[in-house]
């Protein structure tokens, strides 16, 4: 069963990912398929705008903690583990590198890896009932996938610290006010609102559109690789720590975490 659907219409395209469950979590397989979906458009000179959307109830509640590939990695070599941990980073980079204008249409919750994916696109349209939430630090992890400099570019350092370090839930209106999102739409209409933006991009001269995006990203992301090149190694280190294990157990058991003092 396919979990990615691509629809093309004139100079726009819609990429929908749906794992058939409300949380719509990002498994290793889904991340690889989303990477492949983005790369289909690398040499597509006809499409000028691409909308990325999840389910009608939730965009994505983040990485799938029950993904069987995670358990299998425990017996893998360090090189294999590092390659796997960089899967999300490759996915986000593939979407950021596209020459077309990319827009995330977000309904419901957008959590963790879902936020990392959405900030790799150029614009974000959120529903009035949407919330963006980065719980990685609460679970004992760093925020990875190259998302930290992207979030800082959008909201600035202080607000990025509140989003990432303090794990504040950012509801739709606040997301737009802070710059984390660009448009608010009524429930169930984010795709339609994103389509208006996509059609506007599609009406522009393609080469000029692509060149301007390249110029903006080159300036905004000049030091992004320097600051986030090893974030997946940091994730692997955190994953192996007692802090992460205790944070996840506390979350699953619905109790406050008990971290050891230094």
- % of the chain surpassing 90 pLDDT: 76
pLDDT tens per residue, range 197-254: 999 999 999 999 999 999 999 999 998 888 888 888 888 888 788 888 888 888 888 8
Question: Whole-model pTM?
Answer: 0.93
Q: What is the pLDDT of residue 238?
A: 82
Q: What is the mean pLDDT of residues 81-88?
A: 92
The residue with greater pLDDT, 194 or 262, is 194
Asked whether the predicted pLDDT for residue 1 surpasses 70, the reply is no
Task: Give me the domains of the chain, ranges plus CATH numbers.
Answer: 4-188 (3.90.226.10)
Query: Worst-scoring range by mean pLDDT, 106-120, 126-140, 196-210, 241-255?
Result: 241-255
**Sheet bearing 131-133, strands edge to edge:** 109-111, 131-133, 170-171
Q: What is the mean pLDDT of residues 180-184?
A: 98
């Amino acid at each position: 069963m396919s979990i990615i659907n691509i629809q093309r219409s004139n100079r726009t395209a819609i990429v929908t990912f749906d794992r058939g469950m409300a949380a719509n979590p990002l498994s290793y397989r889904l991340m690889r398929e989303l990477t492949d979906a983005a790369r289909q458009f690398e040499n597509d000179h006809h499409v000028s705008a691409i909308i990325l959307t999840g389910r009608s109830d939730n965009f994505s509640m983040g990485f799938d903690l029950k993904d069987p590939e995670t358990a299998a990695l425990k017996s893998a070599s360090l090189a294999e583990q590092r390659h796997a941990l960089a899967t999300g980073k490759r996915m986000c980079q593939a979407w950021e590198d596209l020459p077309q204008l990319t827009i995330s249409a977000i309904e419901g919750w957008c959590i963790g890896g879902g936020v990392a994916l959405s900030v790799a696109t150029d614009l974000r349209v959120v529903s009035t009932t949407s919330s963006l939430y980065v719980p990685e630090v609460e679970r004992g992890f760093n925020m990875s996938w190259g998302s930290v400099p992207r979030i800082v570019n959008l909201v600035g350092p202080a607000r990025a610290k509140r989003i990432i370090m303090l794990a504040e839930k950012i509801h739709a209106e606040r997301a737009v006010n802070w710059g984390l999102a660009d448009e608010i739409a009524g429930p169930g209409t984010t795709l339609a609102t994103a389509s208006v933006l996509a059609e506007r991009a599609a009406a522009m001269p393609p080469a000029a559109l692509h060149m301007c995006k390249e110029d903006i990203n080159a300036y905004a992301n000049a030091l992004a690789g320097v600051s986030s090149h090893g974030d997946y190694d940091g994730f692997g280190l955190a994953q192996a720590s007692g802090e992460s294990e205790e944070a996840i157990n506390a979350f699953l058991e619905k109790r406050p975490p008990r971290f050891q003092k230094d």
